[in-house]
Amino acid sequence: MSIDGQLPPKARLLRAAAELLANSGGSAVSTRQITQLAGVTAPTLYHHFGDKEGLFDAVVAAGFDEYVAGERDFAPSGQPLEDIRRMWDNHVQFGLKQPELYLVMFGNIRPESRPAIVADAEALMEEMLNKAAVSGQLNVPPREAARSILAANVGVTLMLIAEKAPERNLELSAMTRDAMVFAVSTEQARNNGSVDSGESSVVVAAIALNAALQASHSDQLSSSELKLFLEWLHRISNSSTS
């Protein structure tokens, strides 16, 4: 139960810290656990990394290399906005695959102290957004767009990590992602055109659904149930005109 091999103590400490961090299951990781697993004693840790945070920073740096590698891995699709979406998804996947490491990287928030890694991630996204801006696909400055998108990206990832694995719904991510990308893009410029029935009330909704029900899918309900259902819809359309 120790990390051996001919690796020097510094590397063993890094590996031990990363491993414990990955398997800690949410509970804190102590320097004693790390040093024991690495097969060294406490002063060795402090000699090489200064303090616990220094060691974690080093682990994070390695993790960030992996993160960046993932973010750059795919070939640019020629559609910068599509690449942004892939960056987003990659970010979420990274967080879900290594939640403990992710939390050290992005979840260790304290007032007025910004982890360096956030700035790096922002720069990475800004770089990509720059390409979109060059081709006129951005309607806000790349820096602001990057900050905004990354904030939402981190928020969604943290929210997903906090949920129990079987309940995680990636639709949350996709929806938020598309909302953010859409918001900073010039695609929305075309939205001034005609909006069909812009304010759809319950009445309109009920009528539309009513029509849709009769037009198709009617085999999913028995006729009596359908009749009752339509009557119910009718009642709603009349009652809640507020």
Partner DNA sequence: GTAGTTCATATAGCGTTGCTATAGGTGCTA
Partner DNA sequence: TAGCACCTATAGCAACGCTATATGAACTAC
Contact 126, 143 (CB under 8 A): yes
Contact between 62 and a copy of itself by CB under 8 A: the answer reads: no
Instruction: Determine the residue type at 203.
Output: V
Among 1, 8, 166, 224, which residue interacts with DNA (rule: CB under 7 A)? 8
The one of a copy of itself, DNA, none whose footprint includes residue 47, by CB under 5 to 8 A per kind, is: DNA
In the region spanning residues 70 to 129, those forming contacts with DNA, defined by CB under 7 A, are none
In the region spanning residues 31 to 50, those forming contacts with DNA, defined by CB under 7 A, are 31-33, 39-48
Count of all residues that appear for the chain in the document = 242
CB of 148 to DNA, least distance (A): 34
Span between the terminal Cα atoms of the chain, in Å: 67
Instruction: Determine the residue type at 209.
Output: L
CB of 10 to a copy of itself, least distance (A): 28
Contact between 159 and a copy of itself by CB under 8 A: the answer reads: yes
**Spatial separation of the C-alpha atoms in residues 76 and 198, rounded to whole Å:** 38
Contact between 107 and a copy of itself by CB under 8 A: the answer reads: yes
The one of a copy of itself, DNA, none whose footprint includes residue 190, by CB under 5 to 8 A per kind, is: a copy of itself
CB of 169 to a copy of itself, least distance (A): 8
The alpha-helical segments, DSSP class H, found in the chain are 9-23, 31-38, 42-49, 52-73, 80-97, 99-102, 116-134, 142-162, 170-184, 202-215, 223-239
Contact between 11 and DNA by CB under 7 A: the answer reads: no
In the region spanning residues 188 to 207, those forming contacts with a copy of itself, defined by CB under 8 A, are 188-202, 204-207
Segment near DNA (CB under 7 A); pick from 28-36, 93-101, 163-171, 222-230: 28-36
Instruction: Determine the residue type at 157.
Output: T
CB of 166 to a copy of itself, least distance (A): 10
Q: Which residues lie below 8 Å from residue 217, measured CB to CB, with a gap of 6+?
A: none
Token digits of residue 119 = 């700035």
**Spatial separation of the C-alpha atoms in residues 17 and 29, rounded to whole Å:** 8
Segment near a copy of itself (CB under 8 A); pick from 3-11, 38-46, 67-75, 142-150: 142-150
Sign of the CA dihedral with 81 first, then 82, 83, and 88 last: positive
Q: Of 5 and 53, which has the nearer Cβ to a copy of itself?
A: 53
Q: Which residues bind DNA (CB under 7 A)?
A: 8-10, 28-33, 39-48, 51-53
